[in-house]
Structure 1
C-alpha cells in the first residue's frame, strides 16, 4: 500500500538493521519486492486474501539531509555487517553491536535477499558454518554471501529520521513498466 504517513510503531523488529522503516535507492528492487510484500501481508492478515498484487504500491520519498541526523552505512558484506544483521535476527548474538548502533538514526547497507536470508539463517543456527562469531564461521558465511547481488537498504530507525523524509508519490505495481 502507499505509505504517505510513516508510523514507526507499525514497523517490525527482527529485520536486518532492527526495527524501523526500510527504503532502498533502487526502484527496480522495490518493484521486485512488491509481490513478496503482498504475500507476507496476506499471510499475516494485514490485507485480505483476495488482495490483487497488481494493486500493490511503491512509495517514493525524498530525504532532506540534516547534519544532525546520525547515519551509518555498512560498506559491503563485512564481518561487522554479518554480525549486526545476525544480532538483529537473534537477540542473544552480538549484543555489543546492538548497543553500539543503538543511537544511530539511519543505518544503511546491503539487503539480505532470499538466498542471503538462507545463508544468514544457516550462519545464525551454527549448524553449517560453526559457532557464529568465530573467524571460520564468519569467513564461510561471507564467502557464500559475496557472490550474491546484494542491493541496498536504509533503515530509518527514529522519528527524527522519518521527519526528514518527504512523501513524493505512490505508484501502482500493475501500472509500472520496467
Structure 2
C-alpha cells in the first residue's frame, strides 16, 4: 500500500508526535492513501508555519504489518468512531494499547458538526446523520515505534501552493 504524509518538510524518518491540541486519533504519525488529502494538509501546515508544501511517500506492507501489530479499524462513521474521535479531540485519548488506528478523517466540516453536538445544538443521532453525508477521506495513524518499522520512505512530492 502507498501512503502519504503532508507537511512543510520531508519526513524520511517518521516519529510519533504528541499534538499540542486534541486531534482525531491522538498522538501518532498520520498518513493517508489519498495523495490530494496529503497535499491539502501540506498547504495548511505551510499556511500556519511557512515553508514549502511537501508530501512524503511511503510503502507499507499491510499484510505483514497487520499480522504483527494491533490495529484498531473503523468502518465509516460509526458510534465507536464518533466516540473515539470525540474523546481524542477532547484530549482524552483512550489508553488501550494499539499500534495503528485506521478510519475516516474528521475534517473541518466534521469538526464543526462535533462542536454543534458538544454544545447541544445537535443530538448525537443528528450529528452522526450529518457526518454520513460528508465525503470523508481515510487516515492511518502509526501510534508506536514498532509500527513505524513497517513504514518505508520512498519519495517526496512537491505541492503547488494553490489548491488544484
TM range (shorter): 0.7 to 0.9
How many Å separate the matches in 1 of 2:72 and 2:27? Answer: 15
Scaled by the length of structure 1, the TM-score of the pair is 0.77
Residue 107 in structure 1 maps to residue 97 in structure 2: no
* Number of the residue aligned with 1:134: none
* Number of the residue aligned with 2:56: 59
Larger radius of gyration between Structure 1 and Structure 2: 1
How many Å separate the matches in 1 of 2:131 and 2:22? Answer: 20
Q: Which of the residues 3, 26, 29 maps onto 2:37?
A: 29
How many Å separate the matches in 1 of 2:40 and 2:90? Answer: 26
Deviation at 1:146, TM superposition (A): 1.0
How many Å separate the matches in 1 of 2:68 and 2:148? Answer: 13
Q: Which runs of 5+ in 1 are unaligned?
A: 130-136
Scaled by the length of structure 2, the TM-score of the pair is 0.83
Q: How many residues are treated as equivalent by the alignment?
A: 151
Residue 128 in structure 1 maps to residue 118 in structure 2: no
Q: Which runs of 5+ in 2 are unaligned?
A: 1-8
What per-residue deviation string (whole Å, max 9, x for no partner) do you get for residues 37-67 of structure 1? 2123x2xxxx4xxx3xxx2110001113331
Structure number with the higher helix fraction is: 1
Q: CA RMSD in A?
A: 2.1
TM superposition outliers: structure 1 runs of 4+ over 2 Å: none
Deviation at 1:122, TM superposition (A): 2.0
Kindly report which structure 2 residues correspond to 1:40-119, keeping only aligned pairs within 5 A, or say none: 40=48, 42=49, 47=50, 51=51, 55-64=52-61, 65-66=64-65, 67-91=67-91, 98-99=94-95, 102-119=96-113
The answer to whether the 8 Å contact 1:11/1:21 transfers is no
